[in-house]
Amino acid sequence: MLTETMINEIINGTIATLYMTIFSTLFSYLFAFPLGIALVITRKDGLYPLLGVNKVLDAIVNLGRSIPFIILIVVVIPITKLIAGKSYGPTATIVPLVIAAVPFIARLIESSLLEVDNGVIEAAQSMGASIPTIILKVLIPEAKTSLIVGATIATGTIISYSAMAGAVGGGGLGDIAIRYGYIRYQTEVMMVTVILLVIIVQILQIIGMKIATKTDKRIRN
Partner 1 sequence: MLAIEPLIQLIDLGKEYISQGATIVALNDINLEIFSGDIFGIIGMSGAGKSTLVRCINFLEKPTTGTVVLDGNDLSLLSEKEIRKLRQNIGMIFQQFNLLMQRNVEDNICFPLEIAGVKADERKKRSQELLEIVGLSDKAKSYPSQLSGGQKQRVAIARALSTNPKILLCDEATSALDPTTTSSILSLLKEINKKLGITIVIITHEMSVVERICDKVAIIDNGELAEQGSVENVFSNPKTDAARKLVYHNNNAVMEMKGKRCIRIVFDGKSSFEPVIANMILECRTQVNILFADTKDIKGKAFGQMVLQLPEDSIQADKIINYLKNNKMIVEELIDYVN
- To partner 1, the closest distance from the beta carbon of 35 in angstroms equals 23
Does residue 219 bind partner 1 (CB under 8 A)? yes
Does residue 68 bind partner 1 (CB under 8 A)? no
Span interacting with partner 1, options 2-10, 81-89, 142-150, 203-211, rule CB under 8 A: 142-150
Contact 89, 18 (CB under 8 A): no
Contact 127, 195 (CB under 8 A): no
- To partner 1, the closest distance from the beta carbon of 51 in angstroms equals 14
Inter-helix orientation angle 187-215/144-164, to 10°: 170
Single-letter code of the amino acid located at 82: L
- To partner 1, the closest distance from the beta carbon of 219 in angstroms equals 7
Does residue 135 bind partner 1 (CB under 8 A)? no
Does residue 142 bind partner 1 (CB under 8 A)? yes
Contact 7, 29 (CB under 8 A): no
44 burial via Cβ count (<10 Å: 0-12, 13-18, 19+): exposed
Does residue 122 bind partner 1 (CB under 8 A)? yes
Q: Which parts of this chain interact with partner 1 (CB under 8 A)?
A: 117, 119-120, 122-130, 133, 137-138, 141-142, 144-145, 216-221
